[in-house]
Structure 1
Amino acid sequence: MTLRNKGLSFYKKKKKISQALLREIFSWIFSIALSVFLAGVIVIFLGRSARVVGMSMEPTLENGQQIYIDRFTYILSSPKAGDVVAFLPNGNENSHYYIKRVVAGPGDKVRIADGTLYVNGQQSIWVTERVLDAGIAENELILGSGEYFCIGDNPNNSEDSRSANIGPVDEDDIVGKAWFHLKSSTEGMGFIK
C-alpha cells in the first residue's frame, strides 16, 4: 500500500473563488471609485477652495486655514443670518476671498451703538463681543435689495461691512457659503458652524 492510496498528498488543491464573490467585490470597488470621482467633480465644478486670510474669523476659523466654499447653495437660495460666506469686496476679482458671517440681510436695519450690534432694534445673536469700531454702522443702515451686512467673528480684528471701502456686500459679490474646514491647530476637520 502506498501513501498515495491512503489519501495523503503533498499537492494542495487550489480553492477557486466563486464568480459571484468576484462580481460582488468588483461591484463594491466600482461603486466606491465612482463615488470618489463624482465627489471630486462636484467639488471642482460646484465648489472652491480658499485659505482664510487674517484673524477676523477666530475662533471659528484660523489664519491660513483651508476651507471649502459651496457655490451651489446660493443658486437655489439666498444667504441668511448666521451663514459664513466668501465674497469678493465690491466684486474685485483681484482680491482674496473675504470670509465673514452674515448678520443681516435685505431690508434689515443695522446699527452699532455702545459696542453692541443691533439688527432691527434687537441685539444680534451672532456678535456677542463688544465692538470697538462701529464704522459706517454708527448710524443706522437700511440694507437694500440684495445687500448683506457681514462681520468677522473676531470683530475687533476684522475688515468687514463696517468699513467704508467694503460696506454692505452685494449678493452678486458673494462667491458661496463656506461649509467645510480642514484641520486647524485646535481641532480636526469638520463643518463650519
Structure 2
Amino acid sequence: MIRKAEHYRASGKGSNKKWRGLLLASLIVVTVAVLIQLILRQLFFYPLSVTSDAMSPEIKPGDRRYFVYSRLSTPVSGDVVLIKSARADVELLCRIVAADGDRVQIAQGKLKINGSVARDLLPRTSDARDLSYEMPETEVRPNFIFCMNDNHLNTNDSRAHGIFSRNQIVAKVFKPLLLF
C-alpha cells in the first residue's frame, strides 16, 4: 500500500489538482474584481477622456478624469461639473462660479460675484459684444448655477447657454483622496 502512494506522488498525478485549485481560485478572484468594477462604474462613478480645452490649464485635452454622478454629491461653487445643455445636444465641462441667489456680472473684463471681483478675465477686445469683457449683472435663482470655463476665451458656458438648472448637472469631477 505504501509503495502505491509513493508511485502516485512520484508520477506527478497529485500536482494537477493543486494547479486546478489555483486556477479556479484565480478565476474567481478576477471575476469578482470585474463585477465590482462594473457595479461601481454603473452606480457611482465613471472615467471620461476630456476632448476640449475649456478647462485649460487645470484639465487639458486628452486628460482622463473620473466623474461622480450628481445624485451622489451636491456640487458647490468651485466644483468642476459636466452639464447637459438644454440649448444644444452636448455635455459641457465647466466650473460653478455662482449659485442660489448670487449676483454675477462681468464689467471691464473682471468677473464680479456679489459685487466683489472674483478674477480678471483678460478679455480679447474691449468690445461690449465680447462676453468675456462685458455682461450685465444677473441674479442666479435658487436651484440654479452659473458656470464658467477656466479658459474664459472658450465661451461654451453660462455666458452663451444661460444659467443652468441643478437638474442639468450630469456629474462632478471626482478627486480621490490618497491615504499614503
> Which residue pairs with 2:21 in the alignment?
none
Is the 1:90–1:170 Cα contact (8 Å) retained in structure 2?
Answer: no
1:82 aligned residue: 78
Please state if 1:66 is matched with 2:102: no
State the AA in 2 paired with 1:104. Answer: A
The CA distance in 1 between the partners of 2:131 and 2:163, in whole Å, is: 14
SS at match of 1:153: coil
Gaps of 5+ in 1: 1-11, 15-25, 181-189
Once the two structures are aligned, what percentage of the paired residues are identical? Answer: 26
Distance in structure 2 (CA, Å) of the matches to 1:128 and 1:39: 42
**Alpha-carbon spacing, 1:110–1:104, altered in 2? closer, same or farther (3 Å):** same
Q: Is the 8 A contact 2:103 2:115 kept in 1?
A: yes
Q: Give the superposition deviation at 1:91.
A: 6.8
Conserved in 1, the CA contact under 8 Å of 2:44 and 2:72?
no
Structure 1 residues 136, 69: CA separation in 2 closer, same or farther (over 3 Å shift)? farther
Once the two structures are TM-superposed, the CA of residue 36 in structure 1 deviates from its matched residue by 5.2
More strand by share: 2
Question: 1:69-108, CA deviations, whole angstroms, 9 ceiling, x for partnerless residues?
Answer: 210xx3254321110000111175xx23211011111111
Q: Which residue of 2 aligns with 1:138?
A: 135
1:103 matched to which residue of 2?
Answer: 97
Instruction: State the partner residue of 2:115.
Output: 121
Q: Compute the TM-score of the two structures, normalised by the length of structure 1.
A: 0.65
How far residue 173 of structure 1 moved from its aligned partner, in angstroms, is 0.9
Q: 1:120 to 1:29 in 2, by over 3 A?
A: farther
**Aligned residues of 1:84 and 1:100 also touching (Cα < 8 A):** yes
For residue 55 of structure 1, what is the amino acid of its counterpart?
Answer: D
RMSD between aligned alpha carbons? Answer: 3.7
1:168 and 2:168 are equivalent in the alignment: no
Structure 1 distance, partners of 2:33, 2:134, is 47
Aligned residues: 163
Unaligned runs of 5+ in 2: 1-9, 13-23, 125-129
Seen in structure 2, the aligned counterparts of structure 1 residues 152 and 138 have a Cα distance that, compared at 3 Å, is: same
Which residue is 2:18 aligned to?
Answer: none
